[in-house]
Structure 1
Amino acid sequence: MSEDTNATDDRLRLLIERIERLEEEKKGIADDIRDVYMEAKAVGYDPKIMRQIVRLRKMKPDDRSEQDMLLDTYKNALGMA
């Protein structure tokens, strides 16, 4: 094997190991988030609604307004308003 091949192999191995560490961290964070939702449920909050609020808070205000308007339009069309 040439020196370039070894360097390339080492670089690939390091990148793969970084991805594996990040995946492990991601799993740990996902577990922590699940624990917070379980804690919230234990004190009487609805995790499903909390997830919706988190999703809405991530949205830009204009996008959220547009979504609300479309939701109202669809509900009106179905006689749900």
Structure 2
Amino acid sequence: MSEFPNDHNFRAQEGGVAADRLRSIIERHIRLEEEVKALRGDQKDIMSEAKSAGYCPKTIKQVIRIMNADPKDVAEAEHLLDTYLRALGVGK
């Protein structure tokens, strides 16, 4: 079913194939937004499961960010964190 009624401003007879293509692009984007929303719900459920198993969701998210990051960027961030902590007399 189309997200747009037949009498919408982008009528095929007025816009021709371009209007149909635009409608198709918009409808595909809307479907993807719905899929992303569902996936975010799944991610939330996974974090709830992790929490109920005794894991820290915040730390898991940090691990995921590190795993997805460029190793060079991770090393630089760790170096800066260590530098700042030592400058403040905190940590190691």
Q: Same fold (TM over 0.5)?
A: yes
2-side partners of 1:4 and 1:79: how far apart?
70
* Percent of paired sites with the same residue: 43
Q: Counterpart of 2:34 in structure 1: which amino acid?
A: E
Larger Rg: 2
Residues 50-70 of structure 1: per-residue CA shift (max 9 Å, x gap):
000000000111111111001
Contact 2:50 2:56 in 1 (8 A): yes
Structure-1-length-normalised TM-score: 0.91
Please provide the CA RMSD for this pair.
1.8
Equivalenced residues, count: 81
Which residue of structure 2 lines up, in the alignment, with residue 27 of structure 1? 37
More helix by share: 1
Task: With the length of structure 2 as denominator, give the TM-score of the two structures.
Answer: 0.81
Q: Cα 1:2–1:37, aligned 2, differ >3 Å: closer, same or farther?
A: closer
Greater relative CO (CA pairs within 8 A, separation 6+) = 2
